[in-house]
Structure 1
Amino acid sequence: MPARLDHTIMHSTDSAVSAHFLTDLLGAPEPKPQGPFVAVPVEGGLTIDYADFIVEPDHIVLQHLAFLVSEEEFDQIYSRVQGRELPYWSEPGHEGPQQLNHRSGGRGLYVDDPDGHAIEFLTVSETQAS
């Protein structure tokens, strides 16, 4: 059986704030405390576990999470991003401010979470595009 990712840990300055930021954008259920973490459940049993106790705030290494979503989910997420007047970009590295990308025939955008982690939402997986 191939390995399946069970959870990943995202370092944060405030785990509850970061977890709520993500669940709010996804329109997902409230995050749940899981031991010392605040867990955001996503498809397939995977959880994004936010931790604010492992590293000092000035030692957080920025990470990138990419979420493949349906066109309908993208519309909802995009609406939430615009409604919150969040800065977003079409490309990594903050290129294409307040623009969407259309790579592989889909749509995508990048937004930073409260700690600066890049959160990407895309409708077509670039690894599976033909």
Structure 2
Amino acid sequence: MAVQFNHTIVLSRNREESAAFLAGILGLEVGEPYAVFLPVRTANDVVLDFATVDTEIPPQHYAFLVSEEEFDAILERLVGAGVPVFADPQREHRGRINRGDGGRGVYFVDPSGHGMEAFTRPYGSDPDSPLNDVTEEVPGAC
């Protein structure tokens, strides 16, 4: 069997809130609890197991490759929910998306402070396109 990524534990202040937030934004479902975990499964069967902890949570980064149609829906849900969006992981370009690699990308923060990213083209897929240098404004974004 080839090596495959199966799951990761996502530390959160409140597993229900964080799992519901991410599932809602990405158009996924929250699964049934398993021990201390609340799972959110992606289309390629990778599971994010949300766990509530009562300690300092170091922010992590989670990136999701999505179709153009899924990106439109995700961006619409983010704007509709009033979630700040950014074109870059440093959060310097608020209210914008990036056009890296000939696709589109957006960054946002979950309720526990983790950096989330949705993008339509894998990094390096268009070597003639700048990574995050080209941005565009998102109407209605905060």
How high is the TM-score relative to the length of structure 1?
A: 0.92
- 1:5 corresponding residue in structure 2: 5
User: Which one has the bigger helix percentage?
Assistant: 1
Is 1:48 the counterpart of 2:48 in the alignment? Answer: yes
1:112 to 109, 112, 129: 109
Query: What are the ranges of 5 or more consecutive residues in structure 1 without an aligned counterpart?
Result: none
1:50-80 superposed Cα distances (whole Å, 9 cap, x missing partner) = 1113xx33x2111000000000000000000
Between the aligned partners of 2:70 and 2:4, the Cα distance in structure 1 is 24
The structure 1 segments of at least 4 consecutive aligned residues displaced by more than 4 Å after TM superposition are none
Query: What are the ranges of 5 or more consecutive residues in structure 2 without an aligned counterpart?
Result: 128-142
Is 1:73 the counterpart of 2:70 in the alignment? Answer: yes
Equivalent pair of 1:19/1:31 in contact (CA under 8 Å): no
1:87 to 84, 88, 96: 84
How high is the TM-score relative to the length of structure 2?
A: 0.85
Count, aligned residues: 127
Question: Alignment RMSD, CA only?
Answer: 1.2
Query: Following TM superposition, by how much is the alpha carbon of 1:23 offset from its aligned partner in structure 2, in angstroms?
Result: 0.5
Is 1:63 the counterpart of 2:60 in the alignment? Answer: yes
Query: Following TM superposition, by how much is the alpha carbon of 1:10 offset from its aligned partner in structure 2, in angstroms?
Result: 0.7
The percentage of aligned residue pairs carrying the same residue is: 37
